[in-house]
Structure 1
Amino acid sequence: MTTLCSHEDLIATQDALKHVEKSYPALFEQLLHIVNLTRSLQLRYQFMGCLLMDEDPGKNKPSYLHHSVLELYKREIQKLKDNPDFPVIKKTFKSFKKVGYAKISLLLQGAKPETLTGLSVIK
């Protein structure tokens, strides 16, 4: 997904993620686990975000992944969604939707907002 966001948007997103990390450390670790799993399986962050937000992943759904691996991934997503504090994540993702799931994921992994400013295509 192509996203265009300002440096201020990215800093606000990073601040919100830091707040989640500080206020809900176990929830944050679960989310980071999902982001890292997404990266390790070479899935699109957009696909991950769609699953988390109950959106249709459309063309972002992987066609190359074995069914059993995809089901395992979905079970891990569901574990996060079953966390009683998950609405905090959902609210954060919704608040910063214009930043994009990919950039949110990269910020979660420690990317600096300066490296993500402007137009970019991240899957």
Structure 2
Amino acid sequence: MIITSSYQDLLHAKQAIAKFKEDKPAVYQRFVHVIQLTRQLQFNFQYMGCLIMDEDAKKFRPAVQDEYILNVYNTEIEKLKEDQRVNDLKQLLHAYKQIGYSNLSGLVLGKKPMSLVGPKVV
């Protein structure tokens, strides 16, 4: 699947993320931790987003040598989803789904919108 992100879309998403960070700091911080874990394990951000949003994540499932790693990862996702305020995060992810979970994660990690402009394969 190919997604294309315009500078304006990314800028709006960055502003929404900043507001989310200000309004819901605890959920935002948990989300940052999940993004960092995803990056450290070299999993696909699309997989992370699908798990959080209760979408079918099978085609993005990472090939791992040790199922324990995947179980630990899934446990961390479930901890995030157990938070009562996770619906606010889901609303944010849903509102900017068209730019892709990878780009949203990049913005959360501090990437500049200009560096994320253009087509990407997910």
Aligned to 2:100: 100
Aligned to 1:21: 21
* TM-score, reference length from structure 1: 0.94
Percentage of matched positions with identical amino acids: 35
Any unmatched runs of 5+ in structure 1? none
Question: Do the aligned residues in 1 keep the contact of 2:50 with 2:57 (CA within 8 Å)?
Answer: yes
Alignment of 1:1-123 (within 5 A): 1-121=1-121
Residues 8-48 of structure 1: per-residue CA shift (max 9 Å, x gap): 10011111111110011111100000000000000000000
RMSD of aligned Cα (Å)? 1.1
Structure 2: distance between partners of 1:2 and 1:110: 23
- Displacement of 1:65 in angstroms is 4.2
Q: Secondary structure at the match of 1:120?
A: strand
Aligned AA for 1:84? Q
Structure 2: distance between partners of 1:62 and 1:29: 24
Structure 1: distance between partners of 2:114 and 2:57: 28
- Displacement of 1:105 in angstroms is 0.5
Structure 1: distance between partners of 2:111 and 2:3: 16
Evaluate the alpha carbon distance shift between residue 65 and residue 21 of structure 1 in structure 2; reply closer, same or farther with a 3 A threshold.
farther
Any unmatched runs of 5+ in structure 2? none
